[in-house]
Each structure stands twice: as structure tokens, then as C-alpha cells.
Amino acid sequence: MPAGQPPVQNLLVLTKITAILDAFTLADPELPLSEIRTRTGLPQSTAQRLVANLVEQGFLDRTRGGYRIGVRMLHWAAPAMQGLEAVDIIRPVLDEMRDTLGETAAVFRESQGHRVCIALAETRQVLRRAIRVGQILPLHAGSAGRVILAWTPDRLAEILQRDLESFTDETIVERDQLAAVVKETAVQGYAVTTGERQTGASGLSAPIFTAQGELFGALTVMGPTSRMPEETCREWAPYVLERAEQLTRTLGGRHPDER
């Protein structure tokens, strides 16, 4: 074995520990040992031993219902985040999404009743949706705007007092209809739209949250409907939700329903 290379056994243990920690999500921050075993595929004795060791070292905390990520993890997260701007954290995830799905990935934030693109990884394909960092777009048209409205009820109330501008034949301009689809977005956890702001263009968005459980912004994948029909967007939804959760965690955030 080359000098300085860790033993294979140590790497295997680290892989198992990583699998245990990855079993916890924003939707399921607390898990019993049986569920940890199911999600990791580890034998009972191995899972029990490693979980006990992780509790002893502060990686996991015991709860009434089982276990959750340990508070000690925040101690290491703080220096990792120090000096990093949010966009620096977001950009590698957008690059990965663009390379995996082949379409443009972006993050939008609300600003003065509109949505603004704050980060972007543009598709390498010739046919693409025109978008740039700093571009200001409406909240009532498009998947990112729908996500923003779903988790900022005060802003939704303001938008519903306005006359809604039509951009295409698919733009929702009826207030009751907009309120209904925004409610649906909050229930299913993501939004898919086709042709609302630009004919022949689709979007898929999921929310990113802050440490206070408030909306940070909308993570979006966008592209031509010819490559992103609704059924494809639905198939991609779990992946986009996972990346949104990853960004929420990396930014030190939590889902508003998490206790």
C-alpha cells in the first residue's frame, strides 16, 4: 500500500457513516434506527454500532423518536461557510445540474414584487432560453415565480391585488386561478410551467430556505418545451428537489415545517 494512503477498511467505514448521515433529509430530520437501516441497507449490527459511535462523537443526537443530525455538526459548518458568498455556494450546484440535465439551471430571488436571477449555469446546447444574471422577471408567470409566491403569502396577496399582465396565451391572468395553482405548488413542493412567460419554453422550480425557515429563493431548470415537456419535468422533479435541499442545508437553512 502506498505511503499515506488510508486502509481500505477505513474508507469503507467512512462510506457507511456517510450513508447514515445522508439518510436524514429536511423532510425527515428525525429517523428511528429501523428506518436508518432501511435507507442505508446496512446490517442491523453494523447500523446499531455505527449509530452508537456517531451519537458518542456528537455526529448524531438521540431524540424521543430515534436520532437526528447532531448539533455539533454546526460547529464544523460555521468555518466551512466563513467568507463564502451565497452565490459562491450556489454556483457549483448549478453547474452540476446543467451538466446532468443538459439544460440551463438558475436561482431566482424576490425583489420589489419581481423575481431576479442571481446565479446561472447556461446550457451548452444551441437552442436555449435567453436569460442573464440580474434579469428582472414577473412573479405571476413561470415556475420560479410560482414557487416564490407559494412560500411568501404576503407577496402573493399583493400580486393578487394587481392586474396580471399576459405574455403568452398560457399566462395565468385570472386571480383565482393563480391563487389555486400557487396553493397546489405549496402542497406538492415544486412547480412546473410551460409557455407562461415565453411560448415554447418550460420551467421546473423548487424552493430553497434560510436558517429561519423562510424562503431564500427558487432553484430552477429551464429550457425549450421540445426538450422539456411536462412529463420530463415531472420525472426531473425529485432530482431538482434534492438539489434544492442540498442548497438549503449548505446555506444553513431548514424547511419551514421542520421542528
The pLDDT tens digits of the residues spanning 120-134 come to: 999 998 887 778 888
Q: How confident is the model at residue 1 (pLDDT cuts 50, 70, 90)?
A: very low
Mean pLDDT, residues 156-176: 93
Parse the chain into domains and list their residue ranges.
8-76, 83-250
Cα dist. 35→14, 20, 28, 41, 213 in Å? 20, 10, 10, 10, 25
Fold for domain 83-250? Beta-Lactamase (3.30.450)
Q: Answer whether 8-76 and 83-250 agree in fold.
A: no
**Separation of alpha carbons 214 and 153, rounded Å:** 11
Cell of 148: 416564490
pLDDT digits (tens, 9 = 90+) for 196-241: 999 999 999 999 998 888 999 999 999 999 999 999 999 999 999 9
Domain 8-76 class in CATH: mainly alpha
**Separation of alpha carbons 194 and 200, rounded Å:** 7
Cα dist. 203→27, 55, 136, 190, 234 in Å? 23, 42, 16, 11, 11
Residues 147 and 170 sit within 8 Å (Cβ to Cβ): no
Per DSSP, the residues of 77-126 read HHHHHTT--HHHHHHHHHHHHHHHHSSEEEEEEEETTEEEEEEEE--SSS
2 three-class SS: coil
Q: If you count them, how many residues does the chain have?
A: 259
Which sign, positive or negative, has the C-alpha torsion 77, 83, 86, 88? negative
10 three-class SS: helix
pTM for the predicted model, two decimal places: 0.69
Residues 213 and 254 sit within 8 Å (Cβ to Cβ): yes
Cα dist. 218→81, 91, 181, 201 in Å? 21, 14, 16, 17
Q: What share of the chain is helix, strand, coil (3-state, %, to 5)?
A: 45, 20, 35
The CA R_g of the chain, rounded to the nearest whole Å, is 21
pLDDT digits (tens, 9 = 90+) for 66-79: 998 887 776 666 55
pLDDT at 228: 96
